[in-house]
Amino acid sequence: MPTVVPEKDAVTVDEDAVHADAKGYRQPEVDVDALRAVLDGRYAEVRDLVRANLAEHAQILLDEEEMSTADFRERVKDVVVMMAGTGQTGMGFPEEYGGGGDIGASIAAFETLAFGDLSVLVKVGVQFGLFGGAILQLGTRTHHDAHLADLVSGRTMGCFAMTESGHGSNVQALGTVATYDAATEEFVITTPDDESRKDYIGNAAAHAALAAVFAQLEVDGVRHGVHAFVVPIREGGRVLEGVRIEDCGPKMGLNGVDNGRIWFDGVRVPRTALLNQFAEVTPEGRYLSPIDNPSKRFFTMLGTLVQGRVCVGGAGINASKVALTIATRYAARRRQFEATSTDEEQLLLDYGMHQRRLFPLIARTYALHFAQEVVADQLHEVFSGPGPTEAGNDEHARRMLESRAAGTKALGTWHATATIQECREACGGAGYISKNRFTALKADTDVFTSFEGDNHVLLQLVAKGLLTDYAGEFEDMDQLGMARFVAGLAVETVVERTAVHKLVQSVRDLLPGGDTWDQEAGLLDPNYQLAMLRFREEHMIGGVARRLKRGIDQGMNPGAVFSRVQDHVIAAARAHTERLVLEAFVARTAALPDGDLKVALNLLCDLHALRTIEADRAWFMEHGRLSSARSKAISREINALCRKLRPLAVDLVDAFGVPEQVLRAEELLG
């Protein structure tokens, strides 16, 4: 990365003038096609296929505004089935069933689909990700032969019936019951009360013929925990006997997706309806499983469904790219006030505040894109190898994937919500007009922070892994168990086993000044930037461990202790994920050959890193890692980076490759 001038006189030197004439700096030029190739990675052809399909079906963005809800649902279904015919939606399924046999390709295709109508994206996610993923990952050959070819082609529509009105995140406590009847060799699916009805289920209200139903498995009066079953709910469009379905009604967005509620009144399905990858019930009623521990079995089962979480995170990041493309290109042509000339008004993008609003969001989007790339690659590697119950499978790698996917999904979807709002405001009143896309972007992405795991709950999952180092006890732990486990360790052990402490120490050894390393290192030194985030992470993890231990030592109830420190738990998990995101960005830019593209991405990487530190400057100052003078220097550096990025801004968003046809916003973009 470019080096910064010495900062000993940071308080008195005119930093703006210094950076404007920084020695050796030459403004880079961006080759948009080359940068797009970097972003698209090894699945560029897959992403281009999806872009072409989005352009072909761009009319659906207008249909969403003009059609009735019922008609638009049918339109969305038709587009999904047409896209299935191109192969883009089935890339993660085995080739023998009409798929592409490439999980990484399926992630790339889904992420890119977020450039277009998001009802289409979510319906694809429900059909091929959730329902299809349950059949593929939780079922065995019998289920694959029976269902995969039809669901991959779109001939059979299905739904994923997990969430209940009374239980969303706490899946282990679901109320739906599947009782085995040995006399008939059938499972009887029952909804015992309204709290146990399946709720918010995509595809349920109108289109699904089959449901992957998650229910408490009961054999001979003994409960064996939550398992999944394939349950017919419609035939020829008619709801079957014993099944009751209601429409969830109008929603904030995604009204092209038919969300519904489902009740089961003694619905009988054959014994083979149990998706039996992890458990089996014999004809006579014996329960068998290769995983003895019920909690481990449950978490192993849910872990196979992590692909949905990865996909939602990527979709949120790509929806941000649409908003930023519109807002940046608009700001590059819209003029307002005669700020620097009496002859014409100034472009919005030339105002420092407008740069401050948009450019850090562009930088963070790039950072999250590369972090998402790491998660997608890990997912591909884990799920292309041995299954979770097979010899040679690395359980630690799976837990690391689950944690990283959870953290990236949380940060990616929160980023989408914040970015779309800021971009809407940056387009003024014009951003409020539906045809300029922000109406749908805001409404349709808002729920991303909730589905596939509430973001705060997901960050608790991340924290659990940090505090236990993904230990063998991890699967058995609820929040109380985690509190007890951590309290039983020396606090120093908790910090050491995360390996973060050792990383910080090694960075300190590399930088000048001993314990004043973070006061003397260059602001644009990636070692400094990473070390700051590592220090914050280490300190927060240790703080959580100390607070948990103190409460337990004082005789407090473990649940009460955890509740009191929950804000610290979330902060530690977020700090950990922020560090992973920056590491991914630094690594990706370092791997590029020298040239203008690398310089441009280093500018973005520096901006992202310094803005992350600036955003939490109060914490760094409270903990002695940031002086007031250095804090001001960081803010000046951010402003300088924004000025350097100004000539590149439009190229940087054009490299996202959002098809012109789906941008709409003709009046904004010209």
pLDDT 10s digits, 389-430: 454 457 778 888 999 999 999 999 999 999 999 999 999 998
Q: Is the pLDDT of residue 21 over 80?
A: no
Per-residue pLDDT, 294:
83
Spatial CA neighbour of 543 closest among 467, 627, 455: 467
Contacts 24+ apart (CB under 8 A), 143-151: 143/230, 143/275, 144/94, 144/97, 147/210, 147/230, 148/93, 148/94, 148/97, 148/98, 148/99, 149/97, 149/98, 151/127
Any residues with CB less than 8 A from the CB of 496 and at least 6 apart, and which? 502
Tell me the whole-structure pTM to 2 decimals: 0.91
For the residues 484-488, what does the mean pLDDT come to? 63
For the residues 620-641, what does the mean pLDDT come to? 93
For the residues 25-37, what does the mean pLDDT come to? 93
| Residues paired with residue 201 on neighbouring β-strands, in sequence order | 260
Q: Which amino acid is at 285?
A: G
Q: Is the pLDDT of residue 505 over 70?
A: no
Spatial CA neighbour of 449 closest among 315, 541, 550: 315
Per-residue pLDDT, 421:
97
- With 0-12 / 13-18 / 19 or more C-beta atoms within 10 angstroms meaning exposed / middle / buried, residue 37 is middle
Phi then psi for 234, rounded to 5 degrees? -145, 155
Confidence of residue 549 (pLDDT cuts 50, 70, 90): confident
What is the spatial distance between Cα 250 and Cα 221, in angstroms, rounded to a whole number?
40
Confidence of residue 488 (pLDDT cuts 50, 70, 90): low
Per-residue pLDDT, 336:
79
For the residues 22-26, what does the mean pLDDT come to? 66
